[in-house]
Structure 1
Amino acid sequence: MELTVNERIANNVEVMQKVRLKHIVKISKGKKSIEVNSSNLRYIQIGDLRNDNNLKYAEHSKSNVLCTKNDVLIAWDGANAGTIGYNLEGAVGSTLAKLVINDNYKIFPNFLGRFLQTKSKSLRDNCSGATIPHISKSELENIEIPLPSLLTQQKIAEILDTADQLRQYNKQLIEKYDALIQSLFMEMFGDPVRNEKGWETVQVESVASKEKHSIKAGPFGSSLKKEFYVQNGYKIYGQEQVIKDNMSFGNYYIDEKKYKELESCKVKNGDVLISLVGTYGKVSIIPEVFEKGIINPRLMKISPNKNIIRPDFLKFLLQSSHVEKQLKNHSRGGTMDIINVGIIRKIFIPLPPLKIQNLFAERVQMIEAQKQQAQEALAKSENLFQSLLQRAFKGELV
């Protein structure tokens, strides 16, 4: 239960002033920059808000929107809208916005960044736009932020940074297991580009089931507006599930009438789902136990012919660097990169015998068992971090 003001004073808990975000920051939308191979100017895009795994660089230009380490960044458009980053400097990409702190307020940037992380989901849930979600500026500006003393802000940020290090360690451990699986693939099947083992090479469309709608994109946005959503019914699967690789995530539903109308987009066990917009090329599989439902306009599905290819093997191929390069060559879009069903159909993949695919799957299963332990540790560290995050801004942490 949240403490009253009198209880806070009695328990020596700091009473925090609350200020609307519009009074303490200036919001500036990023712009698309010209990407170059080498530069001393970092090109910051959505992926950079999470980690530094894929550094990109921008050409110096007067049109660039630049940020410093004192600014806070927010993903403004797409499935990851509301994602927060800070302590970055460079050219801000067009799907991001920067929040510049007003000099009249004493605010530690890390504190503001951590606070806004607690609002990410709310901001994402209140986005506008059916096909491509956009942050509501008024929603963001009217967020009330508690402002303790600068010293308290720094202490809170330090505690949260320490807790974050633990969950980042667990994330890195999971990434190492993923790298081990990649190494196993290369050992068994070789480089898909050179194809030194001489596997048959086919296009994705040839490994799909012969049944109708075995390769299908989600419905047009006008067919699946938010006004059609209901509390319970048939689930709408979107990029949020695929990016997290977790089909149980999310709670958007349609009723039976709308489901039957969009039945060509329904999913079944073993279907491979692929994201098409923004964070494109992410892949997930519908498990044995799932909620009946359909894909949304930002996804496509492939029902594989299980007599020639395993769904999990197809997923692995579609996530490989070999396919990633093909997708990058074909992606298009101004504000946001986009791929489509036609592109995916024509992607080339190696097709080793099913017997060898099964052997690969058995070995992967052993690695996945170890990875599962790391994922459980990550879940615990994530819960700890989120608990501290919520307590921090109620004045209960320091």
Structure 2
Amino acid sequence: MARLEEICAINMGQSPDSSTYNEDGNGLPFFQGNADFGEIYPAVRMWCSEPTKIAREKDILISVRAPIGALNIANCECCIGRGLAALTVNEDICAQEYLWHVLSGKVDELNSKGTGSTFKAINKKTLSETEIPLPPIDEQRKIAAVLDKVSGLIAKRRQQLDKLDEIVKAKFVEMFGDPVGNPMGWEKIALGKRCDIVTGNTPSRADPENYGNFIEWIKSDNINTPAVLLTEAQEYLSETGFHKCRFVEAGSLLMTCIAGSINCIGNVAVTDRRVAFNQQINAIVPKQDDVLYLYWLMLLSKPAIHSTINMALKGILSKGQLSEMAFPFPPLELQNQFSVFVKKTEKTKANINRSLEKLETLKKALMQEYFG
């Protein structure tokens, strides 16, 4: 084992004077924190004309403020704010690609050491004292090569899933046009006239008999757009709680309508089973329309949905607002044709997801084997 400070130079970021920030390309690219991170390399949104802390090209950038532990690679010399630290690896004793994988497995550990009431953060001392397993460098490179290969396959599977979603979006626009602009002139009807809108609720927690294992109780974190179907709930209601809850059957749509972030409002998922749900969610229960058409209609209408929300009111899309919003409704025959296409695509996605799950399980096992 070696302490992180023994295998790399640790450069903690510092926020320069805000008057030196600019969007004109004057100075060095400025990365403030995790929000600037991409898959591997950060995206430049801001520059700094008078940088205070500078990371070198190829340094590992690590987020030291919530969310702690996210990683990127600096693809140029850059200024780093207080949300980041830059790690310059001594490659005589540690392969950089090996350290990347070790640190990617340290996220939970680093987060557990974070302090602060509003935003948790770790300091240089915590980062410096982080212990890193350090086998001979040739073995490090072999380990990194194995993990790189598995990680590359995982990334490829995710890209395949993204590509299939893009294909479905393109099919929707080809058949129906952009739902916000409605260039094909479909009749626009208030959603509440076309579907039943139901707001969820929370049976009293003062009565523990309301909770048990009778029916799933869905929360907004089970609605993981762009995943079409709900994930499994972590909490269930009892049969007693079921008689006090609001629920829907399979073939309905659940939408997040209360959230701290506007990006979460309008997220949707299809129910493939009977579920109960809480008051942060509105259910859209179709009377005649195809639920997969409705899913993609809502997904592609998020900009219009967001335009109706007043974040000063804590980000609420009420049942009344949602009911009154008008959307284009093409003939059911066309909706059904689109639904057939989506179902075929979802079968392909299911196969890719199974492969992805196996690869992610393999990577976790390898990480445990290599790093403990």
1:111-126 matched pairs, under 5 angstroms: 111-120=98-107
Distance 1:263 1:128 in 2: 38
Tell me the secondary structure at the aligned position of residue 86 of structure 2: strand
> For this pair of structures, how many residues does the alignment match?
348
1:169 counterpart (150, 156, 173): 156
Amino acid at match of 1:382: E
1:285 counterpart (262, 269, 275): 269
Q: Deviation at 1:110?
A: 3.4
What percentage of residue pairs aligned between the two structures are identical?
17
1:1-398 matched pairs, under 5 angstroms: 17-19=1-3, 25=10, 28=13, 36=23, 41=29, 45-46=34-35, 48-50=37-39, 55=43, 57-60=45-48, 62=50, 68=56, 69-74=58-63, 76-77=65-66, 81=67, 84-89=70-75, 97-101=83-87, 107-120=94-107, 135=120, 137=122, 144-202=131-189, 208-211=195-198, 213=199, 235=217, 237-239=219-221, 242=224, 245=227, 247-248=230-231, 251=234, 253=235, 263=245, 269=250, 270-274=252-256, 276-278=259-261, 280-281=264-265, 283-289=267-273, 294-295=277-278, 300-320=280-300, 322-324=301-303, 327=306, 339-341=315-317, 345=322, 349-394=327-372
Amino acid at match of 2:85: L
Q: Which has the higher mean CA deviation after the structures are superposed, 301-310 or 175-184?
A: 301-310
Where does structure 2 lack aligned partners over 5 or more consecutive residues?
206-210
Distance 2:298 2:25 in 1: 29
CA separation of 1:247 and 1:304: change in aligned 2, threshold 3 A = closer
Q: Indicate the residue corresponding to 1:10 in structure 2.
A: none
CA separation of 1:244 and 1:305: change in aligned 2, threshold 3 A = closer
Amino acid at match of 2:166: A
CA separation of 1:64 and 1:273: change in aligned 2, threshold 3 A = farther
Query: Any idea what the Cα deviations from partners look like across 1:265-311, whole Å, max 9, x if unmatched?
Result: x6764242338445535734253336x55448xxx422113115443
Q: Deviation at 1:18?
A: 4.8
Query: Any idea what the Cα deviations from partners look like across 1:334-383, whole Å, max 9, x if unmatched?
Result: xxxx8432597376642223332222111211222222222222222222
- Normalising by structure 1, what TM-score? 0.64
Distance 2:132 2:244 in 1: 42
Amino acid at match of 1:327: H
RMSD between aligned alpha carbons?
5.1
Q: Deviation at 1:92?
A: 6.3
Distance 1:376 1:55 in 2: 31
CA separation of 1:241 and 1:101: change in aligned 2, threshold 3 A = same
Larger Rg: 2
Q: Deviation at 1:244?
A: 7.6
Amino acid at match of 1:72: L
CA separation of 1:323 and 1:145: change in aligned 2, threshold 3 A = same
- Normalising by structure 2, what TM-score? 0.68
Question: Contact 2:55/2:74 (CA < 8 Å) preserved in 1?
Answer: yes
Distance 1:185 1:294 in 2: 29
Amino acid at match of 2:134: L
Where does structure 1 lack aligned partners over 5 or more consecutive residues?
1-16, 225-229
Query: Any idea what the Cα deviations from partners look like across 1:204-238, whole Å, max 9, x if unmatched?
Result: 56655255x26x8x99xxx99xxxxx997865634
Question: Contact 1:271/1:304 (CA < 8 Å) preserved in 2?
Answer: yes
Distance 1:332 1:56 in 2: 27
Question: Contact 1:208/1:304 (CA < 8 Å) preserved in 2?
Answer: yes
